[in-house]
Amino acid sequence: MVFDTAIDADAFARSCRDWGVDTPCLHPGFLEDERMAQALDRHGLRSWLNIPVFCDLKYLERHPDAYAVTSLGRRAAQDWLHFVCPSRDDYLDGAIEGLRGNLARLSPAVVSLDFIRDFVFWERVALDGPSAGIEDGCYCPICLSRFEKACGEIIDRKDPSAYIHRHLLQPWADWKCRRILEVAERIFGEIGALAPGIALAVQTLPWRETDLDGAIRSRAGQDVPGLAQQADMVAPMAFTQMLGQTTRWKEQLLAHVRASTGKPVCFYVQAEALYRAGNITVEQFDAELTQARNSNPAAIVALQYEQLAARPEKAEILRKHFRP
C-alpha cells in the first residue's frame, strides 16, 4: 500500500519490482494525472485500486453538511479519518461517477472497497475494552428518519444514540448493515459492468461478531458474510502491533473470517508501529512475513511503501521473501 501522491512514481515502481511486489495498492488520488499508471506499465506491474468509500475529506471540505454525526453529537472527524454520512445518495452518485473515470484511466487487477462501513476509529478501540465507549455514526437527521421509517418506532432525539442502544439495538444494527450492503452492491455492480473480470475485495474491521458486544454490526454496520458474498476475497485489517494482539489472535481471526464467509482472506503485514508505543523489529517483520506466506492467503499486503522506503533493512526482508 502507498499513500503519498507526491512520491516519484517511477522510483516507486522500480522499488516494487526490486522488492518482489507485483501489485501495488493505490488510492484514487494517484489517478489525478497519468504518472503512476504510466510508471506501473513501464515496469510491468499490475495494480490494485483501493476505494475509500465513505472516507472523503476533499468532498467534505466542499460539502460540510454531509459529515456523518457521531454518537456524541459531533462531526465524524478524528485525526485523518473524516466520514461521509452513509445515507447521502447524492454523494454516492458522485462517487460512482468518480469510479467510472478512474477505471477509464487505470485497468486494475484488483479493486477493493475500503471504509465500506459506518464511522468508527477502530484503530484506537481496545478489543478487551467496553463497547459502550465506542464513538460511532451516523446519527444525523437523515439516518434517524430512515431508521424510524424502517423500524416503525419514534426515536427520542434528545440523545438518539442512548435511546437506540437501550431500546432498538438489534434493528439498528440490522438497518445499518443493510445500508452498507446496498452501497457495496451498487459499487461492485458498477465495477462488474465496466470492467468484468477484475478481482473484487472488501476491507473489513478486525472484529468477530462476538467481539465488543457485536460492535462490528451495531457500530460499524459491517455484515462480513454478506459483504463477502459480493467479493472474491476478504481483507480483515488484522494488525497485531496496532491492536496489541498476538500472532495466535491473528491466525484465529483470519481462520474465523475464512470459515464464516467461505472466501479467501488477505494477510496484512505492518512494517512500522502505529498508535501504540513500541516498535516492530526487523526480526518481527520477517517472522510475520513467514507467517503470512504459510497461511495460504489470497494476497499479502504490506503497510506501507513510505515506511519501507525509509527502512532499507526491512525492504531487504521483503526482497528476501519475494525475490529469492
Mean pLDDT of 12-34: 96
Residue 220 is predicted with a pLDDT of: 98
How does pLDDT run across 181-196, given as a tens digit for each residue?
A: 999 999 999 999 999 9
- Res 324 pLDDT > 80: no
Task: Report helix, strand or coil for 110.
Answer: strand
Q: Which three cell numbers stand for residue 306?
A: 513510505
- Res 297 pLDDT > 80: yes
167 Cα distance to chain centroid: 30
Give me the residue spans of the domains in the chain: 232-267
Task: Please answer whether residues 298 and 265 qualify as being in contact, where contact means their C-beta atoms are separated by less than 8 angstroms.
Answer: yes
Closest Cα partner for 253 from 267, 242, 241?
267
How does pLDDT run across 222-281, given as a tens digit for each residue?
A: 999 999 999 999 999 999 999 999 999 999 999 999 999 999 999 999 999 999 988 999
283/289 Cα distance (integer angstroms): 10
Mean pLDDT of 25-33: 96
CA angle 27, 29, 34 (to 5 degrees): 105
pTM: 0.95
Q: Which residues neighbour 101 within 8 Å (Cβ) at sequence distance 6 or greater?
A: 31
Alpha-helical segments (H) within 113-168: 141-151, 160-167
Residue 278 is predicted with a pLDDT of: 87
- What sign does the CA torsion over 213, 217, 221, 224 have? positive
Residue 122 is predicted with a pLDDT of: 97
What is the chain's mean pLDDT, rounded? 96
Residue 323 is predicted with a pLDDT of: 87
How does pLDDT run across 73-117, given as a tens digit for each residue?
A: 999 999 999 999 999 999 999 999 999 999 999 999 999 999 999
